[in-house]
Structures are given as structure tokens and as C-alpha cells.
Amino acid sequence: MTEISGGHLVARALKAEGVEAIFTLCGGHIIDIYDGCLDEGIRIIDVRHEQAAAHAADAWTRVTGKPGVAVVTAGLGTTDTVTGVANAFRTQTPMLIIGGQGASTPACQVNENMAQHR
């Protein structure tokens, strides 16, 4: 059986929903989604800030009538999209924000490692 990555599954799902482009600020956590989007023929539009990605996804939906998607990194990258999401909510514009994070170490193991380095 051929293995497929989570990022490629995300891209397949986006393609199945009619997504033609994603707006993003490049980050290591979400590179696998980019690889999947390239394989699925989804345009990757790089912006300078996560907030711009959210506003662009909102605008894309309003202008084209097709799903607007912002793909950002976890944590602050996702937090930076809040204003764009609020804007879309107020105008009832459907959009999707994907906040990605790479594989992580279980929290208990991280805490043990931190304790060893003190």
C-alpha cells in the first residue's frame, strides 16, 4: 500500500471542494501542504503576513465565489488571522483557515527534556 502524507490529504480535500488557490506565509510547519497543493494543481500565493493571507482568502471568496483558503503556521500565525476571520464573519463570507503544525513530541517528553537541561 502506498503511503500518503497528511499535507497531501489536505490538498486532495481542498481540490475536491473546488479550491483553486491558497494564501499563505511560508513556514516550515506547512511545507507538506504546499507539496500536496502543487501535486493537485492548486496555486500557492505567498503573502507577507498571516493577516494578509486571511484578508486575501476573504476577498477571493467575495470576488470569485470560490472557496478562499489561508494556510498559516500554528500559534501566532493562526492568531494573526483573527481580524480577517472577523471581517469574513461580519459579511457572512465563507472561508477556511488552516493552521498547521509539524509532528510534535508528546508534552510529557518535552517536560522531561526541559527538566534535564535545567
Residue 103 is predicted with a pLDDT of: 58
- 72-110 tens-digit pLDDT: 998 899 999 999 999 999 999 999 999 977 655 555 444
Q: What angle do CA 77, 106, 54 make, to 5 degrees?
A: 15
- Whether the pTM exceeds 0.85: the reply is no
Q: Which CATH class is domain 6-116?
A: alpha beta
Question: Is the alpha carbon torsion for 15, 91, 63, 49 positive or negative?
Answer: negative
pLDDT at 44 over 50: yes
**Are 9 and 35 in contact, with CB atoms under 8 Å apart?**
no
Query: How far apart (Å, rounded) are the C-alpha atoms in residues 25 and 23?
Result: 7
